[in-house]
Amino acid sequence: MAYAVTLEALRVLEAIHQLGSFAAAAEALFKVPSALTYTVKKLEDDLGVALFDRSRQKAVLTPAGHLVLEQGRAILAAAVRLEDSIKQFESGWEPKLRIARDTVLLESPLMSVVGDFLSQNRPVELTLSEEAVGGGWDALQDDRADLVIGATGELPKGNVHIRAIGEIEFVFAVSPTHPLALTDGPITAAQLRQYPAIVVADSSKILPARSSGIFESRQVLRVDTMRSKIQAQCLGLGVGYLPKHRIVDELSAGRLVLRQCELPRPNQMAYLAWRKDEPGLGLSWFVEQLAVQDWRLCHSR
């Protein structure tokens, strides 16, 4: 089974067409004209079709020649892409990257960084997901994510690399229509207990779920994301602490009001975390960029 087409023959055809003559093409390819004559003739013989009309001094492509030229272009382009792919692959860029954002963080700073990465056109497939409470560490442990942004609380066991990105300050805020909005001094535990507590559920799948922001309440409303919790509290459905950087707009628009609370809620450090000892270029790039991104936290690095 003999094959007629070679990539070199397709390149020769392209060069002759582009430069207008065998002589010019030979010069550009650092060959002598008779080498091109040999290559084209071999292709013609093997395909069984004339690719050039040679009735004039300058050889002119036949319709069949044009057909080979057009389809040959796509093939040559694919061959270049293959060689480029291998270079990229060997260059250290990983084919896939899974990034998990803790729900306590704003989405837009992450998207901004993702946009920068996408505009670099790397052959890296990105997957973004959202985790809550201990879910970030869990996703790392469970190999559901390569990189976690915004993980809080105790560091998990095992070899994990971290970068602190800032402190999350929690404030007690309620809807202005909520009865507790009328309280003058610090709200007591007894007062809190009378209203449903709104809680973001831990998204962990393997590690034990963690309680976050739960105080004794007659009722608990669990939601998936911080965004949902903010909305529920704006609607006056319940009470709870909220990360201050997430409710700047709601406070200034009067949809939420700050109140003092007897039960303290200390700040939490938020981390960037990953497990790979030798991260690929993609992971390294994201770690660097996300570490210096403005997440609008306190004491940001």
- Interacting positions 19-38 with DNA (CB under 7 A): 21-24, 30-38
The amino acid that residue 107 corresponds to is E
* Least distance (Å) between residue 228 CB and a second copy: 41
Q: Is 72 in the site for a second copy (CB under 8 A)?
A: yes
Q: Is 92 in the site for a second copy (CB under 8 A)?
A: no
Q: Where are the beta strands (DSSP E) in 169-252?
A: 170-174, 197-200, 220-223, 241-243
d(CA 223, CA 202): 9
* Binding partner selected for residue 5 from a second copy, DNA, none, CB under the kind-specific 5 to 8 Å limit: a second copy
- Interacting positions 46-75 with DNA (CB under 7 A): 52, 54, 56-59
* Out of 48, 185, 264, 266, the residue judged to bind a second copy by CB under 8 A: 48
Q: Is 6 in the site for a second copy (CB under 8 A)?
A: yes
* Out of 71, 120, 188, 260, the residue judged to bind a second copy by CB under 8 A: 71
Q: How many Å is the Cα radius of gyration of the chain?
A: 32
Q: Is 3 in the site for DNA (CB under 7 A)?
A: no
Q: Is 4 in the site for a second copy (CB under 8 A)?
A: yes
* Least distance (Å) between residue 63 CB and DNA: 17
d(CA 52, CA 40): 9
d(CA 152, CA 199): 16
Taking a C-beta distance cutoff of 8 angstroms, is the pair 140, 275 a contact? yes
Taking a C-beta distance cutoff of 8 angstroms, is the pair 294, 109 a contact? yes
- Residues touching DNA: how many (CB under 7 A)? 25
* Out of 47, 164, 209, 263, the residue judged to bind a second copy by CB under 8 A: 47
Q: Is 78 in the site for a second copy (CB under 8 A)?
A: yes
Q: Where are the beta strands (DSSP E) in the chain?
A: 52-53, 60-61, 96-102, 125-131, 147-151, 161-168, 170-174, 197-200, 220-223, 241-243, 257-258, 268-274
Query: Residue 13 is inside which H or E element, if any?
Result: helix 7-19
Residues that bind a second copy (CB under 8 A): 3-8, 11, 47-49, 63-64, 67-68, 71-72, 74-75, 78-79, 81-83, 85-86, 89-90
Residues that bind DNA (CB under 7 A): 6, 8, 21-24, 30-42, 52, 54, 56-59
